[in-house]
Amino acid sequence: MKKIPSFTIDHTKLLRGIYVSRKDKVGDETITTFDIRMKEPNREPALHIGALHTIEHLAATYLRNDEEWKDRVVYWGPMGCLTGNYLLLRGDYEAEDIVELMTRTFRFVASYDGCIPGAAPADCGNWLLHDLPMARYEADKYLREVLECINFDNLHYPEKS
């Protein structure tokens, strides 16, 4: 079988950051998929699944309520490798276009104190698998170490393998 494009990115060189993973045409529209990479693959521990699940609930809720972006949000969800999240937006964007949105999103998660939206048996398929303190910690770490000092290197994928 042919290797899919996301498996051609050299994960041994991949840094934490925001990357355009792909752009797909759906009819006349472009859907931009972003790689919101919170951990360096294979070099630092993956995100704890409870923290990642909580980040998913909080970030998805925040993004789908953001006045400027809510109508463009198609999807927010975790990567299977537990090193970050995917954000799909309706429109043709570059990583630079969403730095401010991601900064606000991660500030929201890092400072959130309350009931986790959608963390109830009727709303979620694994409603007990949440870890708000660790989600806040990971969001704050990403905010301080990546988003608040973002540079060119962590906005573009390394050379393909």
pTM reported for the whole predicted model:
0.93
Q: What does the alpha-carbon distance between residue 147 and residue 36 come to, in Å, rounded to a whole number? A: 11
What pLDDT, on a 0 to 100 scale, did the predictor assign at position 150?
Answer: 79
Residue with tokens 């390394």: 158
What pLDDT, on a 0 to 100 scale, did the predictor assign at position 157?
Answer: 76
Q: How far is CA 52 from CA 2, 14, 46, 137, 160, in A?
A: 30, 19, 10, 11, 27
**What is the tens place of the pLDDT at every residue in 60-99?**
999 999 999 999 999 999 999 999 999 999 999 999 999 9
Q: Is the pLDDT of residue 159 over 90?
A: no
Residue with tokens 């630079």: 96
What pLDDT, on a 0 to 100 scale, did the predictor assign at position 152?
Answer: 63
What pLDDT, on a 0 to 100 scale, did the predictor assign at position 43?
Answer: 96
